Amino acid sequence: MPMLPWFTESPADRLVDVRDTSLSKLVRDDMLALILKGELVPGQRINEPDVASRLQVSRVPVREALRALESSGLVVSRKHSGVFVRQLQAVEIRDLYQMRGLLDGFAGRCAASLPDRERHALAAFLDTSVHAMQEAASQHDVQRYYGGNLHFHWAIVESAGNGQLIDSYRGIVQKLHLSRLKNLAQDLGMQASMHEHVAIVQAIQDSDPLRCEALMAHHVGDAYARLRDAALPPRLQTTLPAASISE
């Protein structure tokens, strides 16, 4: 299962050794890793005693960790029922993709405006990423392609050097990741997506901020359209232009 590019493996095996880090934060990171790897699936109840027993901690840091995950929108607490991994509704997914399109567009504009040395280094990294995604697509390895796609976009976002952008983008993509986990066995337009990646890299190489911004926003809109249509019965699937999604 592909992990998000900024995320490290579960810290469960380091809990005993760490003394200067909040225990609740370590528990949160452990549960976050399980959610993002799909080991805790949307709709699944998180059992506090089981988590506490597995990590050999009291239930207090587990509760604190769950509150932190709830504030980030990844879990939901239901009175008298417990805490569950969030299941995103269709309107939430649409809204998140609209916001992601804006952030990706801004990041693309920043990337294409970088000084020559930084811009060329980024373009070279992205070009390598595209080749890796092409290899994954040729082998119909959807999970590896998806992981490469995450790293491609994250590199562009990081290159903007904007901490608020990075934090907002991370939160949005982590939530959208929940909706993607169940679709990782499907080819949701890898070939079309690859052509878009190539065009984005070219816009960065050419130092064309406006074109790169437009390409990034359109790319995210197309991704949403494919994901939305994949969830519909065939007779209801549409081919709306990406502009109608990102506007």
The residues facing 83 across adjacent strands are: 46, 77
Residue 187 pLDDT: 64
Selection from 93, 98, 71 nearest residue 178 by Cα: 93
CATH class of this structure's domain 12-85: mainly alpha
pLDDT of residue 182: 62
* DSSP letter (8 states) at residue 232: S
Assign 85 to helix, strand or coil. strand
* Spans of all domains in the chain: 12-85, 90-246
User: What is the rounded distance in angstroms from the CA atom of residue 64 to the CA atom of residue 67?
Assistant: 5
pLDDT of 77: 93
Please tell me whether residue 160 adopts helix, strand or coil conformation.
coil
pLDDT at 41: 87
Residue 156 near residue 126, CB atoms below 8 Å: yes
Question: Rounded to whole angstroms, how far apart are CA atoms 167 and 136?
Answer: 29
pLDDT at 242: 38
Question: What's the half-sphere exposure (Cβ side, CA atoms, 13 Å) at 246?
Answer: 21
Strand arrangement of the beta sheet that strand 75-78 belongs to: 45-46, 82-85, 75-78
What CATH homologous superfamily does 90-246 map to? GntR ligand-binding domain-like (1.20.120.530)
In a structure prediction context, what are the per-residue pLDDT tens digits for the chain, which is 247 residues long?
555 776 654 444 454 445 445 888 999 989 988 888 888 888 999 999 999 999 999 999 999 999 999 998 899 999 889 999 998 888 999 999 999 999 999 999 999 999 999 999 999 999 999 999 999 888 888 888 888 999 999 999 999 999 999 999 999 998 888 877 665 556 667 888 889 999 999 999 999 999 999 999 999 999 898 888 776 655 544 444 433 333 3
pLDDT given at position 193: 87
